[in-house]
């Protein structure tokens, strides 16, 4: 059980993107991409940055593979995988005021 909760084994997957939105079709494609990320358990961190907590590297790999399958034809997309330990070292600010990092929501795993 302790191995499963190791901060170096638990992963965060972040998806960064800049998609074209010059016309109605491009806006629809960008919106669909965002919706599919949400459907896969990602949460919006900023408008073009979505993140997902994964209990293991193997689980992170599944979501990265799924994200790659839904990539739109145009735009710039980055996928970053970091450990929970690295993610916990992030400093967040609202203007000049530092904010606390919200802990991840617990996900129920069924075996």
Helix (H) or strand (E) holding 100: none
Residue 1 pLDDT? 47
In terms of Cα–Cα distance, which of 13, 105, 106 is closest to 51?
A: 13
Mean pLDDT per segment of 10 residues, for the chain of length 111 residues? Answer: 67 97 97 98 96 95 98 97 93 86 58 45
CA distance 26 to 32: 10
Q: What is the pLDDT of residue 37?
A: 98
Does residue 47 sit within a domain?
yes
- What pLDDT score does 92 carry? 87
Greatest CA separation found in the chain? 50
Rounded to two decimals, what is the model's pTM? Answer: 0.82
Q: What is the CATH number of the domain that holds 82?
A: 3.30.70.240
Q: Is residue 50 part of a domain?
A: yes
Give the strand pairing for 92-94 and 97-99.
antiparallel
| Overall domain count for the chain | 1
């Amino acid at each position: 059980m302790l191995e499963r909760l190791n901060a170096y084994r638990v992963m965060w997957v972040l998806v960064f993107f800049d998609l074209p939105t010059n016309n109605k079709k491009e806006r629809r494609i960008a919106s669909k991409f965002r919706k599919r990320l949400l459907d896969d358990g990602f949460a919006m961190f900023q408008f073009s940055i979505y993140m997902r907590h994964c209990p293991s590297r193997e689980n992170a790999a599944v979501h990265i593979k799924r994200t790659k399958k839904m990539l739109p034809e145009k735009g710039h997309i980055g996928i970053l995988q970091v450990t929970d330990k690295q993610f916990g070292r992030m400093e967040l600010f609202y203007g000049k005021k530092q904010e606390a990092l919200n802990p991840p929501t617990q996900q129920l795993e069924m075996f």
